[in-house]
Structure 1
């Protein structure tokens, strides 16, 4: 039955339902955008951390172990990264060589 404005309660509620569904779609889209941005920012933080770190490629038969910069793509590792001090110690070891591509020894000179 129509109200004083000529629109029935059923019609008002149908319009309200459509509007609320539109709002929910907008919120879900915004959530997706924010999740994507958060993932991108997390990857950027991980890349930045890797660039400030080092990693060791274990020795393989006939090869020596190799020190890489954290972001070097020649050796991918899910293991932890080394700090600057740990990288300096690793380079001092006779059985660990620096990667000739990423040059991990750059910037590792002793500070005095």
Structure 2
């Protein structure tokens, strides 16, 4: 039965439900956007950390071990990264050579 405004309680509740569903879709879309943004920021932090770190590629098939910058894509390390001091020690080892592509020794000899 219509109320004084000509709209029944049933119709009012249907309209309210539609509006609430629209709002819920908006909130869920915003959550997805924020999750993507958070993921991108996490990846950027990980890349920045890798760029300030080093990694060692183990010796293989008669080739010497090789020191890489953390972000070098020639060697994907599943192990942890080295800090600056550890990289300097590794570079001083006679059986570890620097990567010719990423030049991990740049900046290590200084400071």
Instruction: Please give the TM-score of this superposition, normalised by the length of structure 1.
Output: 0.96
Report what 2:11 is aligned to.
11
5+ unaligned residues in a row in structure 2: which ranges? none
Q: In the aligned structure 1, how far is the partner of 2:32 from the partner of 2:8?
A: 36
5+ long unaligned stretches in structure 1: none
1:86 is paired with a residue whose SS is: helix
- Structure 1 counterpart of 2:49: 49
User: Which TM-score applies when normalising by structure 2?
Assistant: 0.97
**Paired residues, what number?**
111
- The RMSD of aligned alpha carbons is 0.8
Distance 1:85 1:33 in 2: 40
Are 2:58 and 1:58 equivalent residues in the alignment? Answer: yes
Name the CA distance, whole Å, in 1 between partners of 2:78 and 2:39: 18
The offset of 1:61, in angstroms, is 2.0
